[in-house]
Structure 1
């Protein structure tokens, strides 16, 4: 029977060092990735508002699947940029400050950050005639507030001016509306059923008391 040869101490040490080196490399890679991303634009939907302002309620029929994919693609591409790079893209993303209050609007954000939000309000574009996104910046983080598919913050009479539509309905909204409709229908049927039973009782009473 052949005796199994055990690895010597040098081989064991080399294997251990190799494992530790791999851990170090992975840690270094994580640091590189973190460093790469820490200065890039981050998006927050914490203050996204598509309900309180008619102008930005996403009810436009132009808000369809191709447009939504365009919107996602812009978020993806901008998230690869630093704030400085975004600021120097010039006309490509149409990134610049916006005078929210001067346009007669107010961000629907907590009062304690409202002034700061208005002072640091910015927009970026989604392409020619594809709309604008408004929000405010804190360092490299862009807090989305409004999505203006119809350019209602800067309406242009040459393109139809200000456009208002019924607000977009979420899946929850649709379910709640359906429930309300079903409840109303059920209430109507219950009332009709009650009236029919009353008519039946009256008819039976008339048969049992013909002289009445």
Structure 2
């Protein structure tokens, strides 16, 4: 008996799905990811509990858009909207993020703007293609 033409075997379908997932992962592997592993929720200078829902919608919208960029695009972008650049601690009110083993973990601290309309900054750092958010700075408190 001949196999029916046009029928997918379950194994073939699973292989196709696995192949599609692998292709998708390769295409996004160089894009920015975000982590809250070092997010400082207790810093009184950079509070995160007193902002309204609109602020957080803007934050998540910005993060979603940034996930479409490669790290090099982010770090070399000089647009007035994004304003991504390294943090120079000597020009700020802080000496660093202040978490244990920071010197071994953080190579270059970075910040970016939520929008061009003065909604504040997000401060953190990269490890590989992952941006670790440390502070939300709606009031621009990092710089004097």
TM-score by length of 1: 0.59
Distance across 2 between alignment mates of 1:70 and 1:104: 26
* Aligned position for 1:37: 28
Stretches of structure 2 that go unaligned for 5 or more consecutive residues are none
Aligned partner of 2:46 among 39, 45, 56: 56
Distance across 2 between alignment mates of 1:44 and 1:76: 13
Change in 2 beyond 3 A, CA 1:74/1:98: same
Distance across 2 between alignment mates of 1:118 and 1:39: 20
Aligned partner of 1:65 among 53, 61, 65: 53
Distance across 2 between alignment mates of 1:19 and 1:36: 26
The structure with more helix, counted as a fraction of residues: 1
Distance across 2 between alignment mates of 1:154 and 1:137: 21
Q: In the alignment, is the contact (CA less than 8 A) between 1:39 and 1:82 conserved in 2? A: yes
> What is the CA deviation profile of residues 76-116 of structure 1, one whole-angstrom value per residue up to 9, with x for unaligned ones?
111121112222432231111002355242213222xx114
Stretches of structure 1 that go unaligned for 5 or more consecutive residues are 1-7, 156-212
The number of residue pairs the alignment matches comes to: 141
1:18 Cα deviation from its structure 2 partner: 4.0
Q: In the alignment, is the contact (CA less than 8 A) between 2:91 and 2:143 conserved in 1? A: no
* Aligned position for 1:170: none
* Aligned position for 2:129: 140
Secondary structure of the residue aligned to 1:144 is strand
Change in 2 beyond 3 A, CA 1:35/1:118: closer
Aligned partner of 1:87 among 53, 75, 80: 75
The structure with more strand, counted as a fraction of residues: 2
* Bigger CA radius of gyration: 1
Matched, 1:25 2:12: no
CA RMSD between the two structures: 2.2
